[in-house]
């Protein structure tokens, strides 16, 4: 790679790093619906699995950022440098996982509970709206980003306010202590109905599926470290303004033998470490604790909800959770919960589809002959509309039994992508990067255990129970 | 002399607006939740006022602390410590007021220590939401008022210093684009 200067690291540990993207996506269905659902069914002790999942995600985030910040390349390009078919494997995995519009389906399902509008109708309209928004990106994307930013802020404040009004110190204590019940695994989990859901929920502890890989694209876009040398992507409606050859063939490397450059590198690592642990880990934990406290207050009041969920009626999950919230002494709280889920579904879909299209376009642009003539923006548009059309087909004519089932399938498949990216991270960071900036033994061991954890749970689930029940 | 004091107070009030607005929004949220929960207009109004007022004062206070340089802009830990005290106090005011409205006397749903501790433990989450919004709202407001409000000028500068990095990046980007266009025009 050509050598370029590493930019100065930000002067302080600041809240507005690219982690904002991960938070916007990561604090979503897992924290607000999937884990509270598990807590209602199996009790707060099940949250030890959440602790493992979210801590693992923080380490993954640090290691994903290592390659992207050192080179300005996405992890996909890194994978292609190790072994090109590995990159194409992720290209296919992304398609296989993200044609299931789980977040949008769950959001639309919640909206149906609220208004009676069929989830297929809302889901279809919202999917098309997402594609239109990103097609006109330059005109409204900045505004949209600001609106989403405000919505996330309101969501976090609102969650804290509601939890403080309906929860109790005891419920909070149980929630926190539940994270340390390592090894708690009730018999009811060992069923075809629930084990895959638990596996999917672990994947949804923080950013799920390929979100961490796409985070490397956002790091590049935000100009973090060597990403500052890479131009930005524009929307399909504005391709005329873009020189299609502007995207360089490869990333850049800084001089790791220069002490001044290494000092700057340490600054960038400090910055991203703060992002990973104080912001990402901390905030994800705080939001999910608030939601869990609410769910526990609800579960105490409504034992019938647990029975309905345990009976395996997956379609009943959203209304059952809403009923549980309502029965916690606040008649309309169920509606508030459903409103939150609708918003989170839309917000997550906006982020996911944009990221999916960026990732796929990045792989094709850099690795397919003639793709540069088409241009990054057109490729982005093609993948965006492709995933939307597939999503509409799945929502209206797919095999899934209701909106919650689509989310569960997406979550389960996400685990596969996550196990695979742990293996890829180990290969890319330890083989491509210069020795001086390679990960140490501890992160390598953690990422290795992550691969075993995700893939082990997934294959155990498939061998023991099969996945036919997911839909 | 009175005019000077008045003008200083007006400047202070103007400076507090971003933080105060976000704090007040939390109170408004509590009121909306009360309404949706079907607990009546009266209690909703009490919850709005009793939570919005202390939260607005504390929120505005946070903006002032930033302006004075006591708290660095956009850093999470000081904000979390600040709300660790401020949020339980605000909730005590709200819960106490709601009890006065409902029963005619002050009271809490649980003992005061448990109540304060519980709200303090939730405060970091609220602090994150607060600082997240503050970082988005405050700079825009400060840039509008810094020309006539000396208190806001320093804080606006602090935000600008951070923003300048992003701006320099944009300038580099624009220069690159310009060069490419020129190249194409020559071709």
The 10s digit of each residue's pLDDT in A136-187 is 765 445 565 666 677 778 877 887 888 888 778 888 888 888 889 998 988 8
In this predicted structure, the answer to whether residue A469 has a pLDDT above a threshold of 50 is no
Classified as helix, coil or strand, A232 is: coil
Residue A342 lies inside a defined structural domain of this protein: yes
Residue B169: its chain A contacts at CB < 8 A?
223, 228
3-state secondary structure chain B: CHHHHHHHHHHHHHHHHHHHHHHHHHHHHHHHHHHHCCCCHHHHHHHHHHHHHHHHHHHHHHHHHHHHCCCCCCCHHHHHHHHHHHHHHHHHHHHHHHHHHHHCCCCCCCCHHHHHHHHHHHHHHHHHHHHHHHHHHHHHHHHHHCCCCHHHHHHHHHHHHHHHHHHHHHHHHHHHHHHHHHHHHHC
E-assigned strand segments in A275-324 = none
Mean pLDDT across A45-74: 88
- Mean pLDDT, chain A, integer: 78
Provide the pLDDT for residue A354: 82
Provide the pLDDT for residue A270: 82
Residue A444 lies inside a defined structural domain of this protein: yes
Decide which of B23 and B30 is more confident: B23
Residue A69 lies inside a defined structural domain of this protein: yes
Q: Do residue A330 and residue B37 have CB atoms under 8 angstroms apart?
A: yes
Q: Do residue A172 and residue B38 have CB atoms under 8 angstroms apart?
A: no
Comparing CB atoms, the residue among B91, B118, B130 nearest residue A157 is B130
Least-confidence region, from B53-67, B76-90, B159-173: B159-173
pLDDT interval class at A298 (50, 70, 90): low
Residue A470 lies inside a defined structural domain of this protein: no
In this predicted structure, the answer to whether residue A1 has a pLDDT above a threshold of 70 is no
Per-residue pLDDT reduced to its tens digit, A236-266:
444 444 433 344 456 667 777 888 888 888 8
Which of B38, B73, B132 to mutate to test binding with chain A, by most A CBs within 10 Å of its CB? B132
Rounded (10°) CA dihedral A52, A54, A56, A60: 170
Kindly state the percentage of chain A with pLDDT values over 70. 77
How far off is chain B from A188, nearest CA to CA, in Å? Answer: 31
Kindly state the percentage of chain A with pLDDT values over 90. 11
Domain boundaries, chain B: 8-186
In this predicted structure, the answer to whether residue A314 has a pLDDT above a threshold of 60 is no
Q: Residue A23's CB: how many other CB atoms inside 10 A?
A: 23
Residue B41: its chain A contacts at CB < 8 A?
none
Residue with tokens 């599926």: A209
Q: Do residue B129 and residue A153 have CB atoms under 8 angstroms apart?
A: yes
Task: Give the number of A-B residue pairs with CB atoms closer than 8 Å.
Answer: 140
Residue A4 lies inside a defined structural domain of this protein: no
Decide which of A237 and B162 is more confident: B162
Provide the pLDDT for residue B172: 62
Per-residue pLDDT reduced to its tens digit, B46-71:
999 999 999 999 999 999 888 887 88
Q: What is the CATH number of the domain that holds A22?
A: 1.20.1740
Residue B162: its chain A contacts at CB < 8 A?
10-11, 14
Per-residue pLDDT reduced to its tens digit, A100-121:
788 788 888 888 888 888 989 9
B175 touches chain A (CB under 8 A): no
Q: Do residue B177 and residue A243 have CB atoms under 8 angstroms apart?
A: yes
B158 touches chain A (CB under 8 A): no
Residue B38: its chain A contacts at CB < 8 A?
331-332
Mean pLDDT across B97-124: 86
Mean pLDDT across B130-146: 83
Q: Do residue A169 and residue B72 have CB atoms under 8 angstroms apart?
A: no
Which of B21, B25, B26, B33 to mutate to test binding with chain A, by most A CBs within 10 Å of its CB? B33
Mean pLDDT across A37-63: 88
B128 touches chain A (CB under 8 A): yes
Provide the pLDDT for residue A428: 92
Provide the pLDDT for residue A471: 37
Residue A162 lies inside a defined structural domain of this protein: yes
Provide the pLDDT for residue A423: 93
Q: Please choose, from the candidates A384, A331, A471, the residue with its C-alpha nearest in 3D space to the C-alpha of residue A132.
A: A384
Residue A330: its chain B contacts at CB < 8 A?
33, 37, 39
Residue A152: its chain B contacts at CB < 8 A?
132
Longest dimension (CA), chain B: 83
Provide the pLDDT for residue A10: 57
Q: Do residue A161 and residue B123 have CB atoms under 8 angstroms apart?
A: no
Decide which of A411 and A198 is more confident: A198
Residue A9 lies inside a defined structural domain of this protein: no
Rounded (10°) CA dihedral B9, B14, B20, B25: 140
Kindly state the percentage of chain B with pLDDT values over 90. 24
Full-model pTM: 0.76
Mean pLDDT across B10-20: 87
Q: Please choose, from the candidates B71, B77, B62, B68, the residue with its C-alpha nearest in 3D space to the C-alpha of residue B24.
A: B62
Per-residue pLDDT reduced to its tens digit, A368-404:
888 888 888 889 889 999 999 988 998 888 766 667 7
Mean pLDDT across A2-26: 55
Residue with tokens 């919202």: A126
Indicate the number of domains in chain A: 1
pLDDT interval class at B144 (50, 70, 90): confident
Interface of B with A in 62-101 (CB under 8 A): 72, 74-77, 87, 91
Least-confidence region, from A385-394, A403-412, B72-81: A403-412
Decide which of B5 and A61 is more confident: A61
- Mean pLDDT, chain B, integer: 81
In this predicted structure, the answer to whether residue A223 has a pLDDT above a threshold of 70 is no
Residue A10: its chain B contacts at CB < 8 A?
162, 165
Provide the pLDDT for residue B145: 83
Provide the pLDDT for residue A243: 38
Residue A150: its chain B contacts at CB < 8 A?
133, 136
Provide the pLDDT for residue A411: 77
B29 touches chain A (CB under 8 A): yes
Cα-Cα-Cα-Cα dihedral sign, residues A458, A59, A343, B27: positive
A450: domain range?
A: 18-465
Provide the pLDDT for residue A407: 74
Provide the pLDDT for residue B94: 92
Residue A13 lies inside a defined structural domain of this protein: no
pLDDT interval class at A468 (50, 70, 90): very low
Look up residue A6 and give its DSSP letter: P
Q: Do residue B75 and residue A149 have CB atoms under 8 angstroms apart?
A: no
């Amino acid at each position: 790679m050509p050598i370029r200067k590493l930019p100065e690291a930000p002067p302080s540990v600041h809240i507005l790093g690219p982690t904002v993207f991960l938070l916007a996506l990561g604090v979503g269905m897992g924290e607000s619906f999937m884990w509270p659902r598990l807590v209602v069914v199996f009790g707060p002790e099940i949250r030890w699995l959440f602790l493992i999942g979210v801590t693992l995600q923080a380490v993954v985030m640090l290691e994903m950022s290592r390659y992207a910040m050192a080179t300005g390349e996405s992890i996909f390009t890194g994978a292609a440098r190790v072994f090109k078919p590995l990159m194409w494997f992720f290209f296919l995995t992304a398609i296989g996982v993200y044609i299931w519009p789980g977040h949008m389906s769950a959001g639309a399902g919640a909206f149906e509970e609220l208004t009676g509008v069929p989830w297929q109708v809302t889901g279809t309209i919202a999917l098309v709206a997402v594609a239109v928004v990103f097609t006109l990106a330059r005109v409204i994307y900045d505004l949209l980003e600001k609106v989403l930013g405000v919505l996330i802020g309101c969501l976090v404040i609102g969650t804290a306010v509601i939890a403080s009004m309906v929860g109790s110190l005891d419920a909070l204590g149980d929630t926190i202590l539940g994270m340390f019940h390592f090894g708690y695994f009730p018999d009811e989990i060992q069923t075809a109905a629930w084990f895959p859901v638990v596996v999917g929920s672990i994947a949804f502890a923080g950013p799920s599926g390929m979100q961490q890989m796409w985070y490397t694209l956002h790091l590049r876009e935000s100009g973090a470290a060597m990403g500052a040398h890479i131009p930005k992507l524009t929307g399909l409606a504005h391709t005329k303004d873009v020189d299609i050859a502007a995207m360089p063939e490869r990333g850049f490397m800084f001089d790791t033998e220069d002490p001044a450059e290494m000092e700057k590198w340490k600054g960038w690592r400090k910055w991203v470490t703060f992002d990973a642990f104080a912001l990402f880990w901390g905030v994800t934990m705080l939001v999910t604790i608030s939601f869990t406290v609410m769910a526990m207050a609800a579960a105490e009041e409504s034992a019938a909800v647990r029975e309905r969920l345990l009976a395996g009626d997956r379609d009943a999950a959203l209304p059952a959770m809403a009923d549980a919230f309502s029965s916690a002494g606040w008649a309309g709280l169920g509606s508030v919960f459903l409103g939150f889920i609708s918003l989170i579904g839309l917000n997550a879909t906006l982020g996911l589809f944009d990221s999916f299209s960026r990732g796929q376009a990045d792989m094709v642009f850099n690795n397919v002959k003639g793709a540069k003539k088409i241009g990054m923006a057109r490729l982005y548009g093609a993948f965006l509309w492709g995933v939307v059309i597939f999503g509409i087909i799945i929502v209206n004519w797919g095999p899934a039994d209701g909106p919650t089932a689509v989310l569960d399938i997406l979550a389960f498949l996400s685990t596969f992508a996550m196990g695979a990216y742990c293996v890829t991270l180990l290969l890319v960071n330890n083989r491509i990067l210069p020795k001086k900036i390679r990960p140490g033994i501890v992160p390598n061991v953690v990422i290795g255990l992550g691969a075993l954890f995700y893939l082990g749970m997934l294959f155990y689930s498939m061998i023991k129970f099969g996945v036919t029940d997911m839909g | 002399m009175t005019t000077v004091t008045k003008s200083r107070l007006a400047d202070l009030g103007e400076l507090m607006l971003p933080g105060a607005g976000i704090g007040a929004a939390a109170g408004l949220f509590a009121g909306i939740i009360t309404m949706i929960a079907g607990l009546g207009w009266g209690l909703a109004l009490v919850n709005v006022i009793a939570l919005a007022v202390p939260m607005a004062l504390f929120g505005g206070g946070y903006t002032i602390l930033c302006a004075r340089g006591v708290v660095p802009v956009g850093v999470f830990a000081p904000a979390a410590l600040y709300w660790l005290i401020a949020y339980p106090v605000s909730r005590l005011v709200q819960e106490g007021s709601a009890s006065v409205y409902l029963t005619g006397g002050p009271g809490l749903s649980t003992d005061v220590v448990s109540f304060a501790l519980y709200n303090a433990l939730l405060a970091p989450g609220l602090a994150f939401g607060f600082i997240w919004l503050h970082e988005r709202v405050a700079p825009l407001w400060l840039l509008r008022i810094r020309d006539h409000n000396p208190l806001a000028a320093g804080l606006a500068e602090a935000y600008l210093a951070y923003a300048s990095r992003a701006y320099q990046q944009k300038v580099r980007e624009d220069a690159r684009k310009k060069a490419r266009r020129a190249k194409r025009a020559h071709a």
